[in-house]
Amino acid sequence: MATFKIKRGLDIKLVGAAELVIKEAFTERYAVKPTDFRGLTPKLLVEEGTKVRAGTPLFFDKYNEKIIITSPVSGEVTAIVRGEKRRIEEIRIASEQQIEYVEFEKNDPKTLSREQIVERMLESGVWAMLRQRPYGCIANPDDAPKAIFVSAFDTAPLAPDYDLIAHGQGVAFQTGLDALATLTKGKVHLNLQSGNAGVSHVFLNAKNVEINYFKGGHPAGNVGTQINKLDPVNKGEVVWYLRVQEVITIGKLFLEGRFDATRIIAFVGSEVRRPHYFRTRIGASVRKPAEIAGIFDDNVRYISGNVLTGTNIGADGYLGFYDNQITVIPEGNHYELFGWMMPRLGKFSAWHSYLSWLMPWKKYKLDTNLNGGQRAFVFNGKYEQVFPFDIYPVQLIKAAITEDIDMMENLGIYELEEEDVALCEFICPSKIEWQAELRKGLDLIKKEMS
């Protein structure tokens, strides 16, 4: 048991945190989005009108046919929504009130071999919960990861409280961990927040794992930060990671023999009237929770995920496969007279040319305005202060922009994913798109490697 202090980082304090109350939000409208899975090319197994149960395969990966994505609910496929170049964007499903499940065998994972566990997870679709570094795509079942990481807390703006979410799920969580432990020859790391008196006993009593403590603000809760401190990814190595609710889903597969896609999500943001938690399922429409919680205005952005890394899904959108929160914030599509030279006390900045650093207690209502125009890199020195890796962020992103593969490798790109450079992007005075550039770099390397 070790404690790691994360000194570098930035907490963006936003208005609209969720009250610790869980409400039900039944909806008929669901969608599974192949775009949630990085680098996956979907091949459909269903068409409009197909009846599905929770756990019925919807599509598989063209380049790795073992990887199957299954339906989170039972009902009927109502539409296959395609975008540009006929790319599949959504598989919409009208759900029944009473969910029917595809029944899988129930076993204690401790009694199963690795092959059996892998096979069960693959056929039920819960395998997709496991993601890997490098690249952040779904884990390849043929790889032998050197370790598996689970972060049991989230430090991102308005992030959900996993202690609340995991409450009462001890058995499922432990069963999930037992399954994970057979997948790696290395350790399964469960990372908890140090200094949090309310850490759930579900986490504290977890067996068959290595428990580590992390202290500090965002991004101490990012699994990338934790991997970097515990067992960094070198070239040629693979680690797997997943989130708390995903471990519970895996556990339930072995306990109940079902793909239980239940998710407790935080419905948050300054535009939400009564922000709180909802019990719903992967792929649920956000309309229902929005109706129940209430939205102040029309000119808003619905984000599946947090404000740093989430996806803009619109008022008619659906909860992403990996997401645990929906954030609703005002759009910033308005002009501001002389904004750049005003005191702007209502705006947040990590830079001291604004005074927000003198008011650390203040919470902000931030909109989606870019607050400037894109420029070349000029000001420096601040990125390192919000980036707790032993990596030179500016040099790395420049290597990614210039497509210098050797340099990207040398500078440690294999350790990173979008969420790790999100704070660099947030504070960037040149408004460089860090996350997009990093992804381009990773895609380029992946292409060259294969």
Partner 1 sequence: MKALRKIIDKVKPNFEKGGRFPWLHSVFDGFETFLYVPNTVTKSGCHVRDAIDMKRGMIAVVIALTPALLFGMYNVGFQHFKAIGAIATFWEVFLYGLWAVLPLIVVSYGVGLGIEFCVAQIRGHEINEGFLVTGLLIPMIVPVDVPLWMVAVATAFAVIIGKEIFGGSGMNIVNPALLARAFLFFAYPLKMSGNEVWIRIGEGAHAVDGFSGATPLGDALVGDFDKLHASWSISDMIFGFVPGSIGETSFLAIMLGAALLLFTGMVSWKIMLSVFAGGFATGLLFNQIGANDFMLLPAWEHLLLGGFAFGAVFMATDPVSSTQTEKGKYIYGALIGILAILIRVLNPAYPEGMMLAILLMNVFAPLIDYLVVRQNINRRLKRVNK
**Bond before 57 cis per omega within 30 degrees:** no
60 or 135: whose CB is closer to partner 1?
135
Which one, 105 or 390, has the nearer CB to partner 1? Answer: 390
Which residue(s) pair with 90 in the sheet?
81
Quote the CA–CA distance of 221 and 450 in Å, as a whole number. Answer: 32
Cβ proximity to partner 1: between 186 and 232 the closer is 232
Q: Are 180 and 239 in contact (CB under 8 A)?
A: no
Euclidean distance between CA atoms 249 and 121, whole angstroms: 10
Beta bridge partners of 332: none
Provide the edge-to-edge strand list for the sheet that holds 262-268. 19-24, 276-281, 262-268, 325-330, 300-304, 311-312
Nearest CB to partner 1, comparing residues 205 and 234: 234
Strands (E) located in 83-128: 88-95
Contact 324, 266 (CB under 8 A): yes
Long-range contacts of 112-121 (CB under 8 A, 24+ apart): 112/182, 113/182, 114/182, 114/183, 117/179, 117/182, 117/183, 118/183, 120/253, 120/254, 121/179, 121/250, 121/253
Nearest to partner 1 of 140, 385 (CB atom):
385
Q: State the alpha helices, DSSP H only, in 185-318.
A: 201-204, 223-230, 244-256, 287-293
For 68, list phi and psi in degrees, rounded to 5.
Answer: -120, 140
Query: For residues 205 and 395, which CB has a smaller minimum distance to partner 1 in the complex?
Result: 395
Report cis status (omega within 30 of 0) of the bond before 219. yes
Smallest gap from residue 30 Cβ to partner 1 (A): 24
Identity of the residue, 53 or 347, whose beta carbon is nearer to partner 1 in the bound complex: 347
Select 21 or 342, whichever has its Cβ closest to partner 1.
Answer: 342
The Cα–Cα gap between 296 and 272 comes to 6
**Inter-CA distances, 325 with 97, 156, 307, Å:** 23, 11, 10
* Shortest Å, Cβ 322 to partner 1: 17
Fill in the amino acid letter for 132: Q
**Nearest CB to partner 1, comparing residues 235 and 274:** 235
